[in-house]
Chain A
Amino acid sequence: MRGTITATGILLAVVAGYALSCAIRPYRDCWCCDGRGHHRSKRKSKLSRPCRWCRASGKRLRVGRRLWNRARRLHRDAGVAR
């Protein structure tokens, strides 16, 4: 019982923390290029190429924020006549 409560508490805290980070720091470093925005070429002579995942920005929106934005857009557009 105690364990369950603790687990639920921890879960809730984690969710709340994630939601907070989605709200005030919506971007995190791109997983693909580690926030650099470009990939270094294997061969040293060649120039680096931009990261395709983050479109060379080095930042990617968190998944939570992405879902949130999608939901908001759906909600906002729901009443608009086509």
Chain B
Amino acid sequence: MTVIPFDEYDEERHVIEADQVGGPADAPDRRATFADVVSRTDSRRPIVPAVLRNQEGRRALARWSVGYGGHTALYHLTRTPKYAAKVALYAPRGAARAVGSVTWWAVGGRENFHLRQEAANKNDPHTWQQLDKRRERSSAARWWVVGAALVALVLLLAAVELAGMPPVGWYCVAVALVLVAARHGRPVDKPIVDRTVTKAPFTKLTAEQVRAAIVAMSIGVKEPGQLTFPPPGVHADGPGWLARFNLPGAIVATTVLEKRDNLAAALRLPVDQVWPEVGPDHPGQVDLWVGRYPASKMGQPRWALTSPTARTSFFEPQPFGTDARQRPIYITLFESNVLIGGQPGSGKSYAARDLADIALLDPTVEMKIAEFKGTGDFLDMAPLCSTYACGVDDEALSTGRDVLTWALAECERRGQRIKRARERGDAPLGKVTPELAAKPGSGLHPVFILLDEVHELFLAYPDAAEAAERVAKRGRALGIFLALATQIADRDSVPPNITRCVTVRWCLSVGGQVENDMILGTGAYKRGLSATVYRPRVDAGWGVVTGIEKPGSVRSFFPSDKENAAIIARAAQLRGKVVGEDVERVEARDMLADARAVLQPGESGLPWAVLAERLAAGWPEMYAGITPDMVRESLARYGVDSQDVKVGRRNIKGARRASLDAAQQRREIEAE
């Protein structure tokens, strides 16, 4: 506010207050207050290293130490004669060197040595004499020092002898002296002991490489200096290096992710050695992890489930694969469904197997496995499954459908149980809890349903696809886990609705962008989630997973046959008997005949909703939960059109008697 003196007051006068121009936009720095300090959330580094904090880690460390130490000891032990010969050769040399260097020091040989040599070269005796006098002066007292040291040594030895040193002690001293002499006498580049391990050569990432590569990618970075590396800079992280850097300006990290091929080319490395990610701080930050070796050559750490004491839980995160940095990736079976897609040879069955192993090692989980490849990939698990089907014949396919029908009915039953539990206060969130699931007789134990090569089932029974979709939607909270594995996830073989309902999608090696996006969702390829880089067979098991904590590349574990057998044996031991009961094999019903049967005499047709209701009432074991749309689609296959049916005064879409009869006739003719 501007104060105007009274005598300057004037009606005509306008005071325009200037906007404040300039000045700092940023708040000034101030000293940290106590409140600032106590509210800091800096993460404190753990006092006990992570590896020592759990039993598994301690055991692994001990195992490694014993193995490494044992190998080193045996290796050196077998080479003792060679070492002895070397010591015999080098020890005299070392002793001579020691004596020589002491003498040289005592006579002051190094004092103005080169000046004296120069004088001698030029035959200048006067200068030489002056220099020599200087040498003599500066080294005059040194012989006394050497003499005193020798006397002290002799006295010390005498004292030790008088104190009662056993002969063994003297031998030890002698051996030590000889070893020291040999160490002193060996050439610098010839160690006495050999190396016990050969380390493979590896690639080290430097900031310079990263800068050059990013500039070469031409994504808008012109100068190498534009990239900044927040602390701690490029550093070792697992079996490789992590470079966290900020891109300049408004360039986002996804531009780098999209051009992973170009980045790998610029770094002159194979694509599977270069793993860019979006950094944690802002969208313009890149976490570039470069392995020491290509991921396909690095092997895989041991799977925790192969441990002889392994026991999993349906409700807790379990490792099912590793990422490029060899860190385990976890999945919680509860509240998720998995869709696994990939071309033949991409490792689908093994990926599905990993999930099945997780479920097997939780003894409360009921297993239902149907695989429509017919090669018996899960045959060893069959004795532990309440339902197991294998093959592409009608029997297997109808069993697959029965499983889904059962699951749907089970959802219905479980929904009511949960409701009652909620009323009692046992299920506060309207979900199955671990306590409820573990309670015998609650009927809420977890169910694991795996359908391998599921497109076979969906092509044979389109209503199974709808059932699967509904199970995926409803079963999540009710403890029913659904895993679908398929080669092709296109519109015809796996309906898009299923793909949408599934929470975790795992795309193994696929041929192109279209297949990739069919499994991972539209736009996944563009966002850098692409499984097209993996080669079938060579990179089997590698894939991109979305729907877990951090979407990205995951390699499924690949237990050996022996480990597989051990897991199955352990699961059998944990379970004792098969959990759950086999599904009721419903005889396949003829919907057309049933539809005609429910039609009351005198009715010219029925709306879809009424038809669905009557079917469900008539044969609940088969048609429980059937929807009007499902009836319409099923009957459409027989050529029953959706026509107007008069109900009271209104016209509602439904099936007419004439149309049903015509369809029946057509079928009879075709059958003949």
Binding site for B on A (CB under 8 A): 24, 26-27, 54-55, 57-61, 65-66, 69, 72
Main secondary structure of the interface of B (DSSP, over half): helix
- Cα distance A25–B237 when bound, in Å? 60
Knowing that A59-B128, A61-B120 are A-B contacts, what are 7 other residue pairs whose CB atoms are under 8 Å apart, sorted by A's residue number? A26-B117, A26-B128, A27-B120, A27-B128, A57-B125, A65-B120, A69-B123
Contacts of B121 in A (CB 8 A): 69, 72
- Cα distance A47–B132 when bound, in Å? 28
- Cα distance A61–B117 when bound, in Å? 12
Contacts of A54 in B (CB 8 A): 125
A29 to chain B, nearest CB (A): 11
Q: 28 A-B residue contacts at CB 8 Å?
A: A24-B109, A26-B116, A26-B117, A26-B120, A27-B120, A27-B125, A27-B128, A27-B129, A27-B132, A54-B125, A55-B125, A57-B125, A57-B126, A57-B129, A58-B125, A58-B129, A59-B125, A59-B128, A59-B129, A60-B125, A61-B120, A61-B123, A61-B125, A66-B123, A69-B120, A69-B121, A69-B123, A72-B121
CB within 8 Å of A: which B111-157 residues: 116-117, 120-121, 123, 125-126, 128-129, 132
Contacts of B120 in A (CB 8 A): 26-27, 61, 65, 69
- Cα distance A1–B128 when bound, in Å? 45
B125 to chain A, nearest CB (A): 4
- Cα distance A52–B121 when bound, in Å? 20
- Cα distance A60–B161 when bound, in Å? 52
Number of interface residues of B (CB under 8 A): 11
- Cα distance A65–B117 when bound, in Å? 11
- Cα distance A72–B121 when bound, in Å? 9
A36 to chain B, nearest CB (A): 13
A16 to chain B, nearest CB (A): 14
| Total residue contacts A-B, CB cutoff 8 A | 30
Residue on A nearest B104 in the bound complex, by CB: A24
Contacts of A26 in B (CB 8 A): 116-117, 120, 128
Contacts of B123 in A (CB 8 A): 61, 66, 69
Most chain A CB neighbours (cut-off 10 Å) among B109, B120, B121, B128: B120
A-B residue pairs, 7 tightest by C-beta:
A57-B125, A26-B120, A59-B125, A57-B126, A61-B123, A69-B121, A27-B128
B106 to chain A, nearest CB (A): 13
Residue on B nearest A26 in the bound complex, by CB: B120
Contacts of A59 in B (CB 8 A): 125, 128-129
Residue on A nearest B116 in the bound complex, by CB: A26
- Cα distance A60–B129 when bound, in Å? 11
Residue on A nearest B123 in the bound complex, by CB: A61
A8 to chain B, nearest CB (A): 22
B454 to chain A, nearest CB (A): 87
- Cα distance A55–B125 when bound, in Å? 9
Residue on A nearest B120 in the bound complex, by CB: A26
Residue on A nearest B121 in the bound complex, by CB: A69
B561 to chain A, nearest CB (A): 72
Contacts of B117 in A (CB 8 A): 26
Contacts of B126 in A (CB 8 A): 57
Contacts of A66 in B (CB 8 A): 123
B126 to chain A, nearest CB (A): 5
- Cα distance A66–B353 when bound, in Å? 89
B132 to chain A, nearest CB (A): 8
B135 to chain A, nearest CB (A): 11
- Cα distance A54–B126 when bound, in Å? 10
Contacts of B109 in A (CB 8 A): 24
Contacts of B129 in A (CB 8 A): 27, 57-59
- Cα distance A72–B120 when bound, in Å? 12
B308 to chain A, nearest CB (A): 71
- Cα distance A24–B129 when bound, in Å? 13
Contacts of A65 in B (CB 8 A): 120
- Cα distance A66–B120 when bound, in Å? 9
Most chain A CB neighbours (cut-off 10 Å) among B125, B126, B132: B125
Residue on B nearest A69 in the bound complex, by CB: B121
Residue on B nearest A23 in the bound complex, by CB: B117
Residue on B nearest A72 in the bound complex, by CB: B121
B521 to chain A, nearest CB (A): 78
- Cα distance A65–B125 when bound, in Å? 13
A13 to chain B, nearest CB (A): 15
- Cα distance A45–B128 when bound, in Å? 33
A22 to chain B, nearest CB (A): 9
Contacts of A58 in B (CB 8 A): 125, 129
A-contact 0/1 string along B95-119, CB 8 Å cutoff: 0000000000000010000001100
Residue on B nearest A24 in the bound complex, by CB: B109
Contacts of B128 in A (CB 8 A): 26-27, 59
Contacts of A61 in B (CB 8 A): 120, 123, 125
Contacts of A60 in B (CB 8 A): 125
- Cα distance A17–B429 when bound, in Å? 98
B102 to chain A, nearest CB (A): 16
- Cα distance A68–B116 when bound, in Å? 16
- Cα distance A6–B125 when bound, in Å? 37
Residue on B nearest A65 in the bound complex, by CB: B120
B119 to chain A, nearest CB (A): 9
A73 to chain B, nearest CB (A): 9
- Cα distance A55–B127 when bound, in Å? 13
Contacts of A55 in B (CB 8 A): 125
B520 to chain A, nearest CB (A): 75
Residue on A nearest B126 in the bound complex, by CB: A57
Contacts of A72 in B (CB 8 A): 121
CB within 8 Å of A: which B394-430 residues: none
A63 to chain B, nearest CB (A): 12
Contacts of B116 in A (CB 8 A): 26
B339 to chain A, nearest CB (A): 81
- Cα distance A29–B128 when bound, in Å? 13
Residue on A nearest B122 in the bound complex, by CB: A69
B108 to chain A, nearest CB (A): 11
